[in-house]
Amino acid sequence: MGVHGVIDRISIFAGALFAAKYFRDDMQAHSITAHLGEVKFGLSEITGAGDYKIRAETLVGPLEGLFRIALWKGADYPTIIYHHGAAETPFDFGFNRIFPLKKMDFEANLILIRAPYHETAKDYTRGRATADGFLAMMATSIVLIDKIIDNLKDNSGSQVIISGSSLGGYICNIHHIYFNSADSYVPLLAGVNMYDAIFESIYSRSVAEINAEQKEQFKDILDFTEEFEACDNSNVFPLLASDDQIVRYDVQKKSYGNCPVVSFAKGHATGALSAGVLREHILSTIWGG
């Protein structure tokens, strides 16, 4: 293990000592398909750059999310929809590093998703207290992305790219599996086996203790390897970090099956901070380099 892996381990061990555990109040969990079927909300008319709040009815009750049109070049330009990582507050921290709009111009429309529970760090601590709350959060983001794509496709024939880092990368992949309405998917620092990242990697130190039966339940719910294998994945372009101790490279590369994977020599934390590499990989799906 190199220095990048050590940084991952130190950050997780330190966080696990003080932060409230995932799923500490309730391990009850429904499938992602059950959650997707319960998410209901309307999308207001998109009129240009700015923040658009949504209030969704979900399996666990009402949840609030948001999407931000950070840059709108026009309907003839490709659109990149980006989703942040778990516990990322402010939710635009990684996005602003990847797309520094004050320093660089981009020939694309840029849209950022804010998942429920990500207005403040305290919100996320509350939201991850139950397994179904966490899954409802994910489902809300997935449905929101799909509604935005529908709106874009109704008003433009231009290319739509979905990307995201860590949690956002898993949401990207799950949207591909169940909707596949975007032209390209660019998951960063994420695979298809979300179960392993949460329950088998060092991240498991951040999760409440569970028994063997509950582990099997979560494996059924959060390992999407078989569902991914059944898809046409020619429009998926993953990027993994080879020393990642959370999204473990060997496990997640295997989860992608025959889908080509690009890798770089970083860990989860240092990879997330490698804005230039992440940006280049996202943009390569539009312009090939």
Which pLDDT belongs to residue 63? 98
CA–CA separation, 231 vs 184, rounded Å?
Answer: 14
CA dist 65 and 55 (Å) reads 6
Residue 90 CA: distances (Å) to CA of 122, 164, 221, 271: 12, 15, 29, 18
Residue 203 DSSP class: G
The residue ranking higher by pLDDT, 282 or 12, is 282
Name the percent of the chain lying above pLDDT 90. 86
Domains of the chain: residue spans and CATH: 3-287 (3.40.50.1820)
Does pLDDT of 220 surpass 80? yes
5-9, 169-173, 225-229, range with the lowest pLDDT: 5-9
Taking residue 46's Cβ as centre, other Cβ atoms within 10 Å add up to: 16
Which residues touch 214 (CB under 8 Å, ≥6 apart)? Answer: 27
Who wins on pLDDT, 153 or 55?
55
> How far is the C-alpha of 154 from the C-alpha of 102, rounded, in Å?
30
Beta bridge partners of 111: 69, 81
User: What is the model's pTM?
Assistant: 0.96
Return the pLDDT at 288: 61
Percent of residues in the chain assigned helix, strand, coil, to nearest 5: 45, 20, 35
Q: What is the mean pLDDT of residues 72-87?
A: 95
